[in-house]
Structure 1
Amino acid sequence: MKKTSIIFITLLSLVFNQNQNTYIWSGSSISIADNLDALNLNPAGLGFNRGEQQALIFKNLEGDNNFIGLTSRFKSGFAYELYYDNSSYNYSIGYGSQLMNNFYSGFKLNKKRDYSLGLLYRPFDFLSISSVIYDNHRNADYKLSRYSFAIKPFEINKLLSNKNSYLKKSNFSFGYDKTTNEIDQKIQEQYFLSLTITPGIDFSYFTYDDNYGFNLSFNLGKEGAQINTYSSNPFYGINSSSTSLVLYNYSQTLESNLNFKENKKLNYVFTNLDGYFIDEEPTVSPFDFIFEINIPFIGSENAVGIQLRKWIDNIHKITEDESIDGLVINLGNVKAGFGKRKEMFNALINLKKSGKKIIVYTQNDISGSDYYLISMADEIYTHSMNSVDIKGFNIEVAYLKQLLDTLSIVAEVVKTSDYKTGPENLTSKNMSKAFKENYGKLADDFYETYINDISLAKNWTYENTSKIINTGPYLTTKTAIEVDLISGTMYPDEFDKYINNLNDKKINIIKWEEYLNYEQYSYKWHKTKKPTIAIIYAVGGMMSGESNPGPTGSTIMGDVTIKKAIKEARENKDIDAIVLRIDSGGGSSLASDMIWREIYKTTTEDKKNKKPFIVSMSDAAASGGYYIACEADKIVANETSITGSIGVYWIRINFSQLLNRIGIYSENIRRGENADFGTSSRLLSDMEKEIAYESVMDVYNSFKEKVINGRETLDDINQLDEIALGRVWSGKEAKLNGLIDEIGGLHDAINISKESIGINSQSEVNIIEYPEVKEFNFFNFLNNEDKSDLTEINLKNLFPSEISDEINSLNIIPVIMDDDIQLLIPFNVVSD
């Protein structure tokens, strides 16, 4: 991990004896107090994010007085100290926060009602300015104001040769403090300097009047010790010198060259690769705890999805961390479409290319899609009774026409062309020629990507990979080992022993969760304001109303929810660019158009709030999904994203014949020639079908116009039929025919949005996600009449995954029922 050299500025002794000011420190500067010293020196420094910090202080004062104290601060800005000084127990609390960028304020209050108020301003990385007032409730002779500045003029390594590894990361700073007693107007001036001799060894010295103090600190990364010595300071009523020892622990990791023992070990991160991978942040039901126990025949828990973006961010973090040597993966059952898998594959293969090792173990059979994810691993182990089920792609569609005929149910469909195959399984008994042609090409593209990626990962030829796949599946581990698909077999305990014995047992296994909490301590004073990019997740079948987020992501994309998110992001002055992440096969034409309208305002109409708008396609952004994408400034899709399907169909499920069979008949009294148009009591007449067709073609032509107007690469509406009429495309083909601009994943789309606002793709940005995930609050639920903003409890999440997967397929029903005219593809394609 890229480390920043630091000056660990003086953890001074915390308090003095009972008759002394517990809120005044005699050392260092209030302008640099942003660690544990901030509580007593300048509580505004508590607003500067230093993670969590704790320290135990032992102090010896003249006259055989001793002191022991505990101090702690939190990421939130809250801090406290508890201490005992020979005769009594005391405590202090404090809080600091950021008022605006690089400007902080804070307060401290102790048991005796002494208090201090502080301000801290860091306009540049080389300058810090501050002021603090201290009020002594017990002693009216002490009411002090302190003003200060501190400067970091340069880094020593800029003046010395970079080849000098001992000094190249050292820093230097100095400062001046002026303290005034508001009662008698006495003044004290103080000067200090501080130096990081080398990461892990820090020294500071300060002087006031004829007195002085110094501090020497040693750190091993997160733990360290410091020795402090001070002479007396009568100005503060401190009439004795002191020596103290401070033992501290930080949640952020300090730069250190003293951690020799750790440097000799290999560091591996251990993770479970298992579960649902979703685009949006999972919304967790408040009743999840009910299923944390194992219920026979039902399941063990209510599954919660893993957000893809954050998972990839963490893989990138490991990739760039020089202190990490490899990744150990416990493979379970990954549930994700091919588009998401492609992004995960790319992240893992980049980790492998960085020189880090990947070792995989699984107790389960390895599916073809999961093998694709781990194919770049240096070593793959499983149980001897498992199989490697790698065999390619299979698109299987269940046709329901014969069942509907048996039930006397008719799916009435009017569509733009035969390529609009969304409702085909309801109107046909087998695959149409158009379906085989269109989805056959899609399968060809996916299969080629599948083989190419495994060939790259395994360093095989295309022909060898194709041969191994075509001779699969491998139902015994022996045959899988023979063709080099896996490395060997082990029991789980044998694998644990194997990992722990690597590098002659000199290995650290870091759990994924612990690694995610890792933060590097930064010496920078000034925090440059980062640009902000909004990511809006448009996930699920499209229909009017609200979305329905859940633990495994949304199944319904509500136009009201997405419109609101786009509008908020557009009108938020702090947001510089927008990325719309789409994972949808479409849905209601009305809902699609309402969302498109909000995007059009963002890219074209609302000149005052216009900002870059980039679309990132996940597993699918087809039909209605492409409808809302085409107005974007740039469209980015994976090779294996499903897109296109520019077409429309009208559908109605008619039960009139079934009702007649069971003795239910309807009669009408009409006033007007077409008063019973569209009645469900009979099938459509030819005239009604013609009217429906005109409506479908009207929507289709509007769809094409939006594509032509939105896409610079497409300018002939008549020629658009060559790639439209309902045809679906892989991201790879969509790039060739002009439907998208770039091949890539969500992070590529974020990088493009960075470049569109004039910053380098490597620059850091703040990410704001929409729709906002609302935490469930039981009391709000009872009192709030409007439940639209509360977490929805999706009943399918109360069932085990085997059942909920089947229930999930029924989510298309409300989408179809929401609107007769649909922009929808029939299904998602997965590898098995």
Structure 2
Amino acid sequence: MKKITLLIIFSLLAYLSPAQNIELFPFSTAATDTLFAAKVNPAALSFGNAGGFGFLINSDFSALQDEFSLFFNFTNLAYILDQEEENIFHTVALSQKIIKNFYLGSALNWPGTGLSRSNQTLSLLTRPLDSISLSAQLNRSYEADVEYLLGFALRPLFFSGYLKDRLTLSADIAYKEEWQDPIFYLQSELADGLLLNLGYDPGEQLVCLNIEIALPQLQAGSITPLNQDYQPKQGYSYFNLSAKRRRSIIMPPAEYFFDYKPGPEIVEQKRETSFGPFYLVSGEKTIYEVLTEIEELSRDESVKGILFENHNLLTSYAGLLEIRDSLQEFKDAGKKIVFYYEQVNNLNYTLAASVADKIYLHPQGSIDLSGFSMSLPYLKELLAHFGIEVVNFRSHDYKTGANILSESSMTDEEREALEELITAFHKQAVEMINTGRSAKLSKPVVEIIDDGPYMIAGSALAAGLVDELIYQDQVEEKIRELFSIEGIVDHRATPTVRSDWSDEPTSKIALIQATGNIHLGKSRLGESIGSESLAQAIREARQDNSIEGIILRVDSPGGSALASDVIARELSLCRSGYQAKPVVVSMGGVAASGGYYISCLADKILAQPVTITGSIGVIGLTFNLEDLFEKIKVNWSNIKTGEHADLGVLYRPMSEEEKDIIRKWIAYIYKSFTEIVAEGRGLDIENVQRIAQGRVWSGIEAQKIGLIDEIGGYKTAIEVLKELASIKRDVELVAFPKRRGIPLTLESSLISEYLNIENKSGLPESLDSLLKLAEVYSQFGDERVLLILPYKFNW
């Protein structure tokens, strides 16, 4: 909006100044959007094809110093310097896309003697269809009356595929006190990079011919007026270094491998923190951004393949599966994928094996492929040594969220549930490796994994895990030989000019991300879910008339029972409240306990096979520090007015009556939880009671028992939502809550250091994890009853 306001102010200031004629070029106001856009129709600048540097001179080159023009074009701004004998003229043009397919522009032209003799142009351009372009223009000059100019352009072969944008017919008609004779134009691209354009003024019986030859980013052309006898008059020649690639007459697009660097860390949601009028955004890529980038690479004709070098991506197992699916679509488009590693861990090798055409390993490299393991510390005896008793209230034996504090070792129920989880993870990894490399392996995948890890590169080669042992400096030569490419680039190729005119109509759907532990209050985006913030985002999306549906992306182990219910209420209103609209939940790495609570009222729930979900149960924690206070000689005294005013104090054990209060509270919340699940999932309460009990499930098992509907990620969620909302068009994702302020993106390490987001304790990992667990529980304040899964899986 600020850009539009500035543009309007510029236009008004320019219009109030006197003017003189702008030189007319033989190009249509409705069809011209490249080098001469700022001269012909400034609104076309923001269409995006005009960027670059241009040089226009007299065709005989004899008056090079006396007659020339320089063009400096950007997306929304252009500057033109015209030299005409001893006179110099300046032109500044501004342009802005107002709404879809609608552009506004303004230009101010003045002589070197000052603004008092200036010209002004205010123009509009709209391209509602790929076959139709319309323009309107107001020109006010110093020497003449105001001129109004209307333009129309048609692509008659828009339906014909290859020829759709190679022929354009257009006309301009001016009004100066009365309507003038129209001027007609023909633009054609006879072959790639060979353009022939004609302009015809029937009133003056004049023809203008333009021939242009194009290389990918260099164009040269001539503009030749013809007199009434069709004899050529003095014309112009021009050269253009374009910011975008054009179809070329002699140089077909080169094919490259793209050295893709998406990580190392790939997050569900960027961390954000407000800072005055700014909001600081961490620099990691999100999973959705990576999926989008891979899709763009698959459409880029210059990209023949992707190279991943030494990338042990840090993200969830479920996130890697979404990336795997996107890479498979990239391969299905006929493109290649190569991985090179010096050392690689379990899951990143699994990803590579599932989609790679080639996997290379350093001669001294290693592959840590050995299956999955999970170790947990149990602190009951350590805490007891210091005089701390943990009272773990839980709805069921499978609700083990606080067991590491209250138990001496893993319980049978906890072991059973976790073994089933890592078995599902292992099965998925085996399936992925089999998909991509079964024909190259020396033995079955299960035996290959049992023989791991592969610390000697030669062993990995002998097992068929990699295709060759090479050094990093040999990678490019190998890829050139195998795939006949021009080379490897680490940046995207220059984008191509737009050949289509209109943006397809889209439907808007909201994307709301819920990442981290759930607590009351406001969210810390990318880190925790505040019930106030998330509920408001859902409410705003529901009440926004332009939004046709909501995707709620959940990556949360849960947290506060009360906060979870506040959020779930907003989901229920999306079903039956005012301005109800469909909601699809897409689960990330984990959506368990409170994370499942806020998901279960969605119209559809999707998860990956290895998503950790379920954990429908409740825990409550209290601490008795009586022995600790006795050891450190701290004495407590108490006065109270109510029988249970000191319920849960730390300096004495709870009575059985007090414990019974907590047990009833937990039973009530568990009953409410199961009833909401039954309502949301359309299940009998008895069935929910059977599959709940605090038990965690993998996504694939959750589908079998009815806790989720489909296996899939973002892309599947979008398709499911389109079906629910009866959306036939492409969709545009709109992030909620809507950001207010100016974004500043910092590298992850910088934003963490500056904002002290990460607590780097310097302790060993096992002890540091305990500090982080304490930090997690500190988010819930005085709340004693929680819906949370405390496990964090490191791959």
TM-score category (smaller protein): 0.7 to 0.9
Q: CA–CA distance in 2 between the matches of 1:792 and 1:602? A: 39
Report if the CA contact (8 A) 2:438-2:445 is conserved: no
If asked which structure has higher relative contact order (CA below 8 Å, sep 6+), I would say 1
TM-score by length of 1: 0.84
Residues 720 and 216 (structure 1 numbering): CA distance in 2 closer, same or farther, change over 3 Å?
same
Task: Tell me, yes or no, if structure 1 residue 795 matches structure 2 residue 756.
Answer: yes
1:237 counterpart residue number = none
Residues 791 and 206 (structure 1 numbering): CA distance in 2 closer, same or farther, change over 3 Å?
farther
CA offset at residue 362 of structure 1?
Answer: 2.4
Residues 257 and 756 (structure 1 numbering): CA distance in 2 closer, same or farther, change over 3 Å?
farther
Residues 623 and 560 (structure 1 numbering): CA distance in 2 closer, same or farther, change over 3 Å?
same
Residues 387 and 273 (structure 1 numbering): CA distance in 2 closer, same or farther, change over 3 Å?
farther
Aligned partner (choices 502, 505, 521) of residue 545 of structure 1 = 521
**Deviation larger for 798-807 or 66-75:** 798-807
1:385-396 superposed matches below 5 A: 385-396=364-375
CA offset at residue 94 of structure 1?
Answer: 1.2
Aligned partner (choices 368, 371, 383) of residue 346 of structure 2 = 368
Task: Tell me, yes or no, if structure 1 residue 69 matches structure 2 residue 69.
Answer: yes
Report if the CA contact (8 A) 2:305-2:336 is conserved: yes
Report if the CA contact (8 A) 2:272-2:282 is conserved: no
Residues 576 and 373 (structure 1 numbering): CA distance in 2 closer, same or farther, change over 3 Å?
same
Report if the CA contact (8 A) 1:217-1:225 is conserved: yes
1:516-560 deviation line (CA, Å, top 9, x unaligned): xx54433333333211121111000111122223xxxx2221112
Aligned partner (choices 583, 591, 616) of residue 646 of structure 1 = 616
Residues 808 and 494 (structure 1 numbering): CA distance in 2 closer, same or farther, change over 3 Å?
farther
**Counterpart of 1:514 in 2: which secondary structure?**
coil
Residues 520 and 632 (structure 1 numbering): CA distance in 2 closer, same or farther, change over 3 Å?
farther
**Counterpart of 2:639 in 1: which secondary structure?**
coil
Q: CA–CA distance in 1 between the matches of 2:194 and 2:727? A: 36
CA offset at residue 97 of structure 1?
Answer: 2.4
**Deviation larger for 368-377 or 459-468:** 459-468
Residues 280 and 792 (structure 1 numbering): CA distance in 2 closer, same or farther, change over 3 Å?
farther
**Deviation larger for 65-74 or 726-735:** 65-74
Q: CA–CA distance in 1 between the matches of 2:247 and 2:284? A: 35
**Deviation larger for 521-530 or 450-459:** 521-530
CA offset at residue 752 of structure 1?
Answer: 1.3
Q: CA–CA distance in 1 between the matches of 2:220 and 2:61? A: 22
CA offset at residue 232 of structure 1?
Answer: 7.5
CA RMSD between the two structures:
3.1
Aligned partner (choices 447, 459, 475) of residue 467 of structure 1 = 447
Aligned partner (choices 806, 822, 826) of residue 790 of structure 2 = 826
Amino acid at match of 1:558: G
Amino acid at match of 1:151: L
**Deviation larger for 266-275 or 247-256:** 247-256
Q: CA–CA distance in 2 between the matches of 1:799 and 1:497? A: 42
Task: Tell me, yes or no, if structure 1 residue 221 matches structure 2 residue 216.
Answer: yes
Q: CA–CA distance in 1 between the matches of 2:753 and 2:577? A: 34
1:247 counterpart residue number = 239
Q: Where does the alignment leave 5 or more consecutive residues of structure 1 unmatched?
A: 1-19, 159-166, 234-239, 288-301, 779-789
1:286-365 superposed matches below 5 A: 304-363=283-342, 365=343
Amino acid at match of 1:642: I
1:116 counterpart residue number = 121
TM-score by length of 2: 0.88
Task: Tell me, yes or no, if structure 1 residue 443 matches structure 2 residue 425.
Answer: no
Q: CA–CA distance in 2 between the matches of 1:538 and 1:189? A: 58
1:391-433 deviation line (CA, Å, top 9, x unaligned): 0011211111122111212222211100000001000010001
Residues 610 and 54 (structure 1 numbering): CA distance in 2 closer, same or farther, change over 3 Å?
farther
1:268-290 deviation line (CA, Å, top 9, x unaligned): 11123531111123548999xxx
Amino acid at match of 1:465: V
Q: CA–CA distance in 2 between the matches of 1:273 and 1:417? A: 42
Q: CA–CA distance in 1 between the matches of 2:567 and 2:575? A: 13
Q: CA–CA distance in 1 between the matches of 2:70 and 2:295? A: 37
Q: CA–CA distance in 1 between the matches of 2:763 and 2:595? A: 28
Q: CA–CA distance in 2 between the matches of 1:658 and 1:116? A: 82
Q: CA–CA distance in 2 between the matches of 1:531 and 1:332? A: 36
Report if the CA contact (8 A) 2:262-2:285 is conserved: no
Amino acid at match of 2:730: E
1:553-702 superposed matches below 5 A: 554-606=526-578, 609-702=579-672
Task: Tell me, yes or no, if structure 1 residue 173 matches structure 2 residue 168.
Answer: yes
Q: CA–CA distance in 2 between the matches of 1:123 and 1:388? A: 55
Report if the CA contact (8 A) 1:173-1:195 is conserved: yes
Q: CA–CA distance in 2 between the matches of 1:452 and 1:63? A: 73
Amino acid at match of 1:489: L
CA offset at residue 61 of structure 1?
Answer: 7.7
Report if the CA contact (8 A) 2:389-2:625 is conserved: yes
1:418-454 deviation line (CA, Å, top 9, x unaligned): 0000001000010001001111111111111110111
Q: CA–CA distance in 1 between the matches of 2:50 and 2:399? A: 55
Aligned partner (choices 804, 815, 823) of residue 779 of structure 2 = 815
Q: CA–CA distance in 2 between the matches of 1:176 and 1:27? A: 11
**Counterpart of 1:334 in 2: which secondary structure?**
coil
CA offset at residue 666 of structure 1?
Answer: 1.3
Report if the CA contact (8 A) 2:165-2:499 is conserved: no
Amino acid at match of 1:177: D
Residues 801 and 124 (structure 1 numbering): CA distance in 2 closer, same or farther, change over 3 Å?
farther
CA offset at residue 600 of structure 1?
Answer: 1.3
1:642-688 deviation line (CA, Å, top 9, x unaligned): 00011011112343432222111212223233232222321221111
1:123-173 deviation line (CA, Å, top 9, x unaligned): 443333322121223xx2354222222222334847xxxxxxxx7556322
Q: Where does the alignment leave 5 or more consecutive residues of structure 2 unmatched?
A: 1-18, 112-117, 745-750
**Deviation larger for 697-706 or 195-204:** 195-204
Q: CA–CA distance in 2 between the matches of 1:79 and 1:803? A: 58
Task: Tell me, yes or no, if structure 1 residue 705 matches structure 2 residue 675.
Answer: yes
Q: CA–CA distance in 1 between the matches of 2:680 and 2:753? A: 35
Report if the CA contact (8 A) 1:345-1:372 is conserved: no
1:29-60 deviation line (CA, Å, top 9, x unaligned): 21223333221122222343437343232334
Q: CA–CA distance in 2 between the matches of 1:452 and 1:681? A: 54
Report if the CA contact (8 A) 1:180-1:188 is conserved: no
Q: CA–CA distance in 1 between the matches of 2:735 and 2:378? A: 39
Q: CA–CA distance in 2 between the matches of 1:603 and 1:792? A: 42
CA offset at residue 740 of structure 1?
Answer: 0.3
Count of paired positions:
750
**Counterpart of 1:328 in 2: which secondary structure?**
strand
Amino acid at match of 2:151: S
Residues 462 and 673 (structure 1 numbering): CA distance in 2 closer, same or farther, change over 3 Å?
farther
CA offset at residue 510 of structure 1?
Answer: 2.6
Residues 248 and 357 (structure 1 numbering): CA distance in 2 closer, same or farther, change over 3 Å?
same
Residues 86 and 459 (structure 1 numbering): CA distance in 2 closer, same or farther, change over 3 Å?
farther
Report if the CA contact (8 A) 2:155-2:164 is conserved: no
CA offset at residue 703 of structure 1?
Answer: 0.7
Q: CA–CA distance in 2 between the matches of 1:810 and 1:386? A: 38
2:4 counterpart residue number = none
2:24 counterpart residue number = 25
